[in-house]
Structure 1
Amino acid sequence: MERDFHALAQQYKSALLEDVIPFWENHSVDWEQGGYFTCLDRAGNVYDTDKFIWLQNRQVWMFSTFYNQIEPRRDWLAIAANGANFLAKHGRDGEGNWYFALTRDGQPLVQPYNIFSDCFAAMAFSKFALASGEDWAKEVALQAYGNVLRRKDNPKGKYTKGYPGTRPLKSLAVPMILANLTLEMDWLLPQETLDTVLAETVQEVMADFLDPVRGLMFENVMPDGSHLDCFDGRLLNPGHGIEAMWFVMDIANRRGDTATIHKAVDVVLNILNFAWDSDYGGLYYFMDAEGHPPHQLEWDQKLWWVHLETLVALSMGDRLTQRPECWEWFQKVHDYSWSHFADPEYGEWFGYLNRRGEVLLNLKGGKWKGCFHVPRALYLCWQQFEALSLQS
């Protein structure tokens, strides 16, 4: 692949605007009862009407972001409002915690068992407030963000399954999501809060979860950052580690912190060298740091979001550092992703492949896959390559 940044920018832009966004516009919006259908088969037909809060909020965020950053189109704002109004009415319990799942008409199905629903609500309503100018949406965003800060040290609260105190592992997911969430809410937060939370989350990710000897990002560590020799303590989630690193690059770039940018790129490259399937291509979903059998039976599947977040990290790393390894790896991951996940016949991308790269689930959306990773990554890669084309 030649370093034709203009052509790459056009490829990612056209895929987003002419394929992926229209797929969700045409198939997912529930204009009758509010919110979105996310359980869509290959052609976009609805096969289940339950509404999962992560995906509902992510779609509000996505269309609000497009309205704010690409073009202030009324139809995009209407789609965002359709989700925001539904969620504001049905999404929280009496204490203001966000459920995990609702029925089509908004009845609670699954309790608010961790803070990630609140994280995505804060993201969604922050960007919807910016797009719509609605003060009530700001209040929803700030209330959800307050929940996240209040619960971040005990993210599952009373729904935690583990026995208290026996194995007090903490998860990478919490600080990495909080870092990105805080950036997304920068226009709503006091500068002191913004600076403090970003500094604390980057420090925790890079000091506690990064193994300085192997250069790999662990999924779970003890509160002091030490490792525990057990399934969860040895767990690597390559996609999470790589996604966390582009969050760190983004924050470091805003601060002019070149050293941290290069450190994050080092980690991305280390993870890729460790987690790339040399026999069939693609990145493993889960791995054990010591090479033992992971307890996740789906460990060797190839997932859409893992590869898309990698494309974002590599394109961002290439733009910020011009390190040749970023470009070499980008070509490899780009070729694999576009030839295995993208569906030129029906649009959008498949989500789940087996180890050999064959489609495992013939769907475009479900309980975990919605209007988020594909459009966000296409947008961000388009932006990186547009910037690179202007530099070259």
Structure 2
Amino acid sequence: MKEKFKQLAQQYKSELLDNVIPFWLEKSLDKEFGGYFTCLDRDGTVFDTDKFVWLQGREVWMFAFLYNHLEKKQEWLDAAILGAEFLREHGHDGEYNFYFSLSRDGTPQVEPYNIFSNTFAAMAFGQLSIATGSREYAEIAKKAFDRVVARFDNPKGRWSKASPKARPMKAFALPMIVCNLALEIEPLIEPEFLKNAIEKSVHLVMDEFYRPEVGPGLIVEHLNSDGTLADNMDGRLLNPGHMIESTWFMMDLGERLNRPELIEKAVKISLNALEYGWDEKYDGIFYFMDRLGRPLQQLEWDQKLWWVHIETLIALLKGYRLTKNPKCWEWFERVHAYAWSHFKDEKYPEWFGYLNRRGEPLLSLKGGKWKGCFHVPRGLYQCWRQLEMLANEA
């Protein structure tokens, strides 16, 4: 197995450094106005110049992360600063509520209704503050994170379109991302606050949103405010990709906190979600499902998305390395074969994002409103490193 691990590690490393990162460096940097183009067609041609703030933050984070963890390459640092300065000047409303989208020159287009603009701004400036030693960047990261904490129970805040009388519900996405975000900006926040944020998020993910009575034991996307299951379209919604992505965050926390029981539970949930969400007819993982098998409101429910499969590869490798559960490796080989044969574009760099149920590309784009320089490169890096560790342990 040692040689197998080494060969796969090289495959992921080469794809990251020789294909994906050069694509974003060459095609996405807006050297006239700052920030990044993310609406890129198959060959990298820009098809729209609006800038989506959460994707701007993700790209800043990605280049700063590579600079901090891989190699002190000036072009990576310069690329990160290009995006960070654009966000610093144009990305928020002055109170560090980060907008959802901007025009090319930074004029706000959509209000800060989406809390994930803030989560990724915090990650971006936190990672870049480590790279540069900038106190200003560190302060922006803390202020962005403070807004996340302040809006934790009401993420959309005053920009919510829900009626004041709407049924109160809790959503899974924010506590999931806070688990990862807390570790990302750990040097910038008080240890006691960090501990409490982690414990609260782990409890919500693993004890509330994880429901052993749903399917084989799955995580749901929404709950009633009292923590009970809701029988409405939001309450029945399942997202296998979200479930699986959250489990590798839990594995990281379990390893960090020396909590093997948390790792074991996370691995179990990831395998449950994968087996439940796998399309036995055409292969690949469904995007959305209904826990009672009822019709979905999401018309894209049966599409196969890039991030779902990449996050699954990370979770399976971490699960295998930490527990040696053979099911993790069996599924890794299956998902790896699907991802590389369907999402990787053999003609141009970067990967396709959206496939139909049969596994055929639906869109030619390599980046857009939702896909940017994040899941593919982060996933390639994570898989490369996990495979290297497995090779060293073999």
Determine if contact 1:209/1:220 at 8 Å carries over to the other structure: yes
Q: What is the CA deviation profile of residues 322-362 of structure 1, one whole-angstrom value per residue up to 9, with x for unaligned ones?
A: 00000011011000000000112101100000000000000
How far apart are 1:134 and its partner, in Å?
1.1
Residue type at the aligned position of 1:85:
E
Q: Residue 290 of structure 2 corresponds to which residue in structure 1?
A: 288
Q: 5 Å matches for 1:134-283?
A: 134-214=134-214, 215-283=217-285
1:244 CA displacement: 0.7
- In structure 2, what residue type is equivalent to 1:36? Y
Q: Among residues 385, 389, 392, which one is paired with 2:391 in the alignment?
A: 389
SS in 2 for 1:72: coil
Q: Distance in 2 between matches of 1:5 and 1:47?
A: 39
Following TM superposition, by how much is the alpha carbon of 1:240 offset from its aligned partner in structure 2, in angstroms?
A: 0.6
Instruction: Give how far 1:94 is off.
Output: 3.1
For residue 42 of structure 1, what is the aligned residue in structure 2?
A: 42
Whether the 8 Å contact between 1:316 and 1:384 is mirrored in structure 2 is yes
CA distance in 2, matches of 1:260, 1:165: 38
Scaled by the length of structure 2, the TM-score of the pair is 0.98
Superposed displacement of residue 190, structure 1: 1.7
Q: Could you give the per-residue CA deviations for residues 75-95 of structure 1, whole angstroms, max 9, x where no partner exists?
A: 100000000011100001133
Alpha-carbon shift at residue 51 of structure 1 (Å): 0.3
Name the count of aligned residue pairs. 392
User: Separation in 1 of the partners of 2:199 and 2:225?
Assistant: 18
Distance in 2 separating the partners of 1:159 and 1:89: 22
Contact persistence 1:37–1:46 (CA under 8 A): yes
Q: Distance in 1 between matches of 2:66 and 2:193?
A: 26
Aligned equivalents of 1:347 and 1:322: distance in 2?
A: 33
Match of 2:314 in 1: 312
CA distance in 2, matches of 1:156, 1:55: 18
**Amino acid across the alignment from 2:8:** L
Secondary structure at the counterpart of residue 149 of structure 1: helix
**CA positional deviation for 1:154:** 0.3
| Identity within the alignment, % | 56
Residue 22 of structure 1, CA deviation:
0.3
Q: Which residue of 2 aligns with 1:369?
A: 371
SS in structure 2 opposite 1:284?
Answer: coil
**In 1, distance between residues paired with 2:166 and 2:284?**
36
Q: 1:327 to 1:14 in 2, by over 3 A?
A: same
Other structure's SS at 2:188 match: coil
CA drift at 1:114 = 2.5
- Distance (Å, rounded) in 2 between the aligned partners of 1:255 and 1:54: 29
For 2:84, the equivalent position in structure 1 comes to 84
Q: Secondary structure at the match of 1:47?
A: strand
Which residue of the partner structure matches residue 341 of structure 1?
343
Q: Per-residue displacement from partner, 1:192-226 (whole Å, max 9, x unpaired)?
A: 11111111100111111001223101011112321
The amino acid that maps onto 2:147 is N
Quote the Cα distance in structure 2 between the aligned partners of 1:254 and 1:307: 25
Flag structure 2 segments of 5+ consecutive residues without an equivalent: none
Structure 1 runs of 4+ aligned residues shifted over 6 Å read none
Question: Alignment partner of 2:17: what SS?
Answer: helix
C-alpha contact 2:237 2:290 (8 A) present in aligned 1: yes
Deviations 1:207-252 (A, max 9, x none): 1100122310101111232101111000001111110111111111
- Give me the whole-angstrom Cα distance separating, in 1, the residues matched to 2:107 and 2:344: 34
User: Which residue identity does 1:171 align to in structure 2?
Assistant: A
Residue 59 of structure 2 corresponds to 59
Separation of aligned partners in 1, 2:129 and 2:141? 8
Q: CA deviation at 1:166?
A: 3.7
Matches of 2:213 and 2:100 in 1, distance apart? 38
Q: Which amino acid in the other structure matches residue 345 of structure 1? A: K
Match of 1:301 in 2: 303
What's 2:132 paired with? 132
Query: In the aligned structure 1, how far is the partner of 2:106 from the partner of 2:288?
Result: 34
* Alignment match, 1:20: 20
The residue type paired with residue 38 of structure 1 is T
Could you tell me how far 1:158 is from its partner in structure 2?
A: 1.6
Distance across 2 between alignment mates of 1:366 and 1:3: 38
CA RMSD of aligned residues (A): 1.1
What is the TM-score when the length of structure 1 is the normalising length?
0.98
Aligned partner of residue 170 in structure 1, secondary structure: strand
The CA deviation at 1:3 is: 7.3
User: Structure 2: how far apart are the matches of 1:302 and 1:134?
Assistant: 40
SS of residue paired to 1:369: coil
Structure 1 residues 150-181: Cα deviation after superposition (integer angstroms, max 9, x where no partner)? 11100001222222354111111010011111
Please say if residues 2 and 391 of structure 2, whose CA atoms lie closer than 8 Å, have aligned partners that are also in contact.
Answer: no
Separation in structure 1 between the aligned mates of residue 309 and residue 242 of structure 2, nearest angstrom: 11
Q: Is the 8 A contact 1:114 1:156 kept in 2?
A: yes
> Unaligned regions of 5+ residues in structure 1, if any?
none
- 1:48-100 Cα distance to aligned partner (Å, 9 max, x none): 00000010000000000000000011110000000001110000113321000
User: How far is the alpha carbon of 1:2 from its aligned partner?
Assistant: 9.1
Q: Secondary structure at the match of 1:221?
A: strand
